[in-house]
């Protein structure tokens, strides 16, 4: 069974850095792209980016490029989402997602990590 287990909720201040994680299990980690989808409070889903763990190729949403860093530790089967300087507008639930087929759909989702950024 495919499982994506994310790190716990975070409460941070504006300007702080943060790295959240997603541990994948139940499949060959290198075989599927894995990435992140954001959901701001009461809003819809927004794709942030994907990484191919096998070769570390990363694709970012054009609107978020430069604001976050997506990485993966393929030996540990873990994907990461990182900020160097958080903004209040980064407050959201962040979902880890696995691509079921290359450039297609997201067939597995993590439980979500709530990130709250206050001033």
Partner 1 sequence: SYVLTQTPSVSVAPGQTATITCRGDNIEDQNVNWYQQKPGQAPLLVVYDDVDRPSGIPDRFSAFDSEDTATLTINRVEVEDEADYFCQVWHVATNHPVFGGGTRLTVL
Min dist. Cβ of residue 31 to partner 1 (A):
17
Residues that bind partner 1 (CB under 8 A): 37, 44-47, 59, 61-62, 95, 100-101, 103-107, 109-112
Q: Which residues contact 72 (CB under 8 A, 6 or more apart)?
A: 29, 34, 51, 53, 56, 78, 79, 80
Instruction: Enter the DSSP assignment of 23.
Output: E
Nearest distance, CB of residue 46 and partner 1, angstroms: 7
CB 70 within 8 Å of CB 90: no
**Residue (60 or 83) nearer to partner 1, CB:** 60
CA distance 12 to 51: 25
Nearest approach in angstroms of CB 1 to partner 1 is 11
């Amino acid at each position: 069974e495919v499982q994506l287990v994310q790190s716990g909720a975070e409460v941070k201040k504006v300007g702080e850095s943060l790295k959240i994680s997603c541990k994948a299990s139940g499949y060959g980690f290198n075989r599927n792209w894995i990435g992140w989808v954001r959901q701001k409070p009461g809003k819809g889903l927004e794709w942030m980016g994907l990484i191919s763990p096998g070769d570390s190729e990363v694709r970012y949403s054009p609107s978020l490029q430069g604001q976050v860093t997506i990485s993966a530790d393929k030996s540990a089967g873990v994907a990461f989402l990182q900020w160097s300087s958080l903004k209040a507008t980064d407050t959201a639930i962040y979902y880890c997602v696995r691509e079921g087929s290359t450039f297609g759909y997201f067939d597995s989702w993590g439980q979500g990590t709530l990130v709250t950024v206050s001033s």
